[in-house]
Structure 1
Amino acid sequence: MKPRILYLATADARGHLMRAQLLAHALIERGAEVEVLTTSDEGATFLGEFGIAAEVLSRHYAVQFDERQNMQRGATDGNVARYLFDPRHMLRDIWRLRRRIAAVDLLVNDSFHPALLVMGCLPGWRRKIVHVYGASLRRALLDNFQGRLPNWLARGFAAAISSELRRARACLQHDFAYAAPARVAPRLFNLPTPIALAQLPQQVQGPRAAVYLNPHFRDPQLATGLEQGLAAMGLQALLVGEGYAGRAGWTPRDPQWIDAAAHSALIVSAPGMAALSVAQVYRRPILLLVTDQPEQRSNAARAADLGLVHEVVCWSGDARLFAIQVQEALQRLRAVAIEEGADAGSQRARQRLDAWVDCLLELAAEPR
């Protein structure tokens, strides 16, 4: 009998969706039946461009950001509270999921959807639920209320989340820093962040930058400063960002972005786990645009420890100053010689993806 897997990918960041489509295609190739759920219409559209027909579970849960990708903590707390306590939201989602979970071997939660955190610690459901999350995102979630609530409340929240994770079937924790897959506890696996395999290089004349900004970037002045900095360096650029759909020179989505990134002179992106993994696996220099997002700040800080060729620029609201800072950072990155081709990177990407598929198929086959 084919393994049956239901994969829920939150749409707060496109990294969760990208991972969902990568793993869904790879699992299907290995004989599994896979259905994908997400949490917004935009997320379903994104998945559709990768050939995944996803159903929207709920539109009520989402982390809130401003137009510069700064996390809005108060708005997020309010949104999550409404989701948890309004019976039309989380309870409704659990009611819908209880019927779906009966028909599958695994229900994958990517990442920290509250309904599945609750279901993952309850008898009858928890033995089918697998949580997928980035190591830095887990730390940011557990520290979410540090300094904002009394210590005993902040510690209580962290303990509750940790307990919910421990009680589930398994946790697949990923990080761009993990060199190889490892089972570090009976129910905890550490896996390198999976990324797509690059195909043949695109035929583009001259040096090229591959730029990806997630949908939370919408400030036109930030885009102006970035464009001016790239132009000052004479770099052609593939500019991808849903928040800049309709802006001249930008495209909202590009399913072949990984090909451009693997063969680019450099990458420009926020320090999400996926972007850092692409730079690491394909040995590309990367310019990191850092905002007030806790797990990404942590990722950027660790990039130096891993020897990743990178520069960091923070958006201050001044497009002219930002353009100068981008240009100076790009000059430093272009001075670093990196000669390795993308073929070796594709082999590393394949090894990462295979490790994930092996792990999920093993979990689906184990008796519960």
Structure 2
Amino acid sequence: MAARILYLATADARGHLMRAQLLTHALRAKGADVTVLTTSDEGVAFLAEFGIAAEVLSRHYAVQFDEQQNMQRGATDRTVARYLFDPRHMLRDIGKLRRYLARVDLLVNDSFHPALLVMGCLPGWRRKIVHVYGASLRQALQSNFHGRLPAWLARAFAAAIAFELGRARARLQHDFAYLDASETAPGSFNLPTPVALAECPAGLPESCVALYLNPHFRDPALAAGLEQGLAQAGLASLRVGEGYAGRAGWLAHDPRWIDAAAHSALIISAPGMAALSVAQVYRRPILLLVSDQPEQLSNARRAAELGLRHEVLVWRGDVAHFAEQLAAASRRLAAASAGEAPGAGRGHAQQRLDAWADCLLTLPSSGETGRVER
């Protein structure tokens, strides 16, 4: 019988949703029956662009950001607290997920949804729950209260997260630096971040820049700085960002963005795991727009350690200065990639998708990895 999988992808940014659509298509191609849930109406619309019909679990849980993608820690703490302690929120979601759980073989939690963190450590439910998360995101979550609460409370929070993750059926940790899939402990896997299969784009100039900003970027001055910088560099661009929907020259969504990125002169994006993986797999230079988001700051540092061709740019509110910096960095990076093809990137992307699908499909039939329910 086909494996029945429920995939819950949070919609705080679009990396979780992109991974959900990639893995849903890969799993369905191997015969699995996959249902997708997310946490906002915008997330449903995003998934629909890729042919995935999804439903909203509830709209109560979300991480909060400002219009420049800086994480708002106080607002996030308040949102999460309301979600955890208001019985109309998490308890209601757990009831809904419990009914789903009775009908599926696996429930994938991408990424750190509180209801599934709780369910994943409780008898009867935990044997079907799989947590999917980025290595840097887990580190950022567990260190979230360091320096903001007394040390013993911060350590207790980190230990609680580790306990909840460790009790579940399995943990699939991904990173753009992982080259191969491996099982690091019973039920714990390291996998390279999945990447879409790119086609050769039509209608875009060879010197085109592929620019993507997630929906948290909404500052019009930042958009103006990007536009002016690319114009100064003499580079055409495909600009995608939901936060700039309706702005001239921008698209809210474009499923072909990966095709343009794989063959681009340059990628411009925040240092999310997905964008870095695209740059790595398709051997494209990337200009990283850094904001106050802990896991992305960590990603940017590791990009340097891994030798990924990149430069880092910080938006400080000065349009003219930012445009000059962006133009200079874009020229340097585009010149470094001139005439270089994506190489075997599509083959590497397929290997990553196969590794994920095969890993998930082995879990329903591989028992409890030696654990005993109590």
For the aligned pair, the TM-score class normalised by the smaller chain equals over 0.9
Deviation string 1:215-248 (CA, Å, 9 cap, x unpaired) is 0000000000011000111100000000000000
1:365 Cα deviation after fit:
2.3
CA contact (8 A) 2:283 2:343 kept: no
Show the counterpart of 1:112.
112
1:343 Cα deviation after fit:
5.0
> In 2, Cα distance between the equivalents of 1:338 and 1:153?
52
Aligned residue runs from structure 1 range 140-151, under 5 A = 140-151=140-151
Aligned residue runs from structure 1 range 253-332, under 5 A = 253-332=253-332
> In 2, Cα distance between the equivalents of 1:42 and 1:228?
29
1:339 Cα deviation after fit:
4.6
Letter in 2 for 1:181: A
CA contact (8 A) 1:44 1:54 kept: yes
Deviation string 1:69-120 (CA, Å, 9 cap, x unpaired) is 0000000000000000000000000000001001100000000000000000
Show the counterpart of 2:367.
367
1:321 Cα deviation after fit:
1.1
1:364 Cα deviation after fit:
2.2
CA contact (8 A) 2:112 2:133 kept: yes
Show the counterpart of 2:65.
65
Q: Secondary structure at the match of 1:335?
A: helix
Letter in 2 for 1:35: T
Show the counterpart of 2:195.
195
Deviation string 1:231-268 (CA, Å, 9 cap, x unpaired) is 11110000000000000000000011000000100000
> In 2, Cα distance between the equivalents of 1:327 and 1:340?
21
Show the counterpart of 2:354.
354
Show the counterpart of 2:124.
124
Q: Secondary structure at the match of 2:136?
A: helix
Q: Secondary structure at the match of 2:67?
A: coil
Letter in 1 for 2:24: A
Deviation string 1:258-289 (CA, Å, 9 cap, x unpaired) is 00000100000000000000000000000000
Show the counterpart of 1:210.
210
> In 2, Cα distance between the equivalents of 1:29 and 1:286?
31
> In 1, Cα distance between the equivalents of 2:337 and 2:47?
36
Show the counterpart of 1:228.
228
Q: Secondary structure at the match of 1:264?
A: coil
The answer to whether structure 1 residue 135 and structure 2 residue 135 are counterparts is yes
1:338 Cα deviation after fit:
5.7
Q: Secondary structure at the match of 2:353?
A: helix
1:307 Cα deviation after fit:
0.9
> In 1, Cα distance between the equivalents of 2:187 and 2:364?
14
| Runs of 4+ with >6 A deviation | none
CA contact (8 A) 1:287 1:330 kept: yes
1:336 Cα deviation after fit:
1.3
1:303 Cα deviation after fit:
0.4
Show the counterpart of 2:91.
91
Q: Secondary structure at the match of 1:342?
A: coil
CA contact (8 A) 1:6 1:104 kept: yes
Gaps in structure 1 of 5+ consecutive residues: none
The answer to whether structure 1 residue 165 and structure 2 residue 159 are counterparts is no
Q: Secondary structure at the match of 2:305?
A: coil
1:341 Cα deviation after fit:
2.3
Show the counterpart of 1:336.
336
> In 2, Cα distance between the equivalents of 1:303 and 1:67?
25
1:187 Cα deviation after fit:
1.5
Q: Secondary structure at the match of 1:207?
A: coil
> In 1, Cα distance between the equivalents of 2:200 and 2:333?
24
Gaps in structure 2 of 5+ consecutive residues: 369-374
CA contact (8 A) 1:283 1:338 kept: no
> In 2, Cα distance between the equivalents of 1:202 and 1:146?
48
RMSD after superposition: 0.9
1:206 Cα deviation after fit:
4.3
TM-score normalised by structure 2 residue count: 0.97
Percent identity over paired residues: 74
Show the counterpart of 1:43.
43
Gap change, CA 1:240 and 1:337, over 3 Å in 2: closer
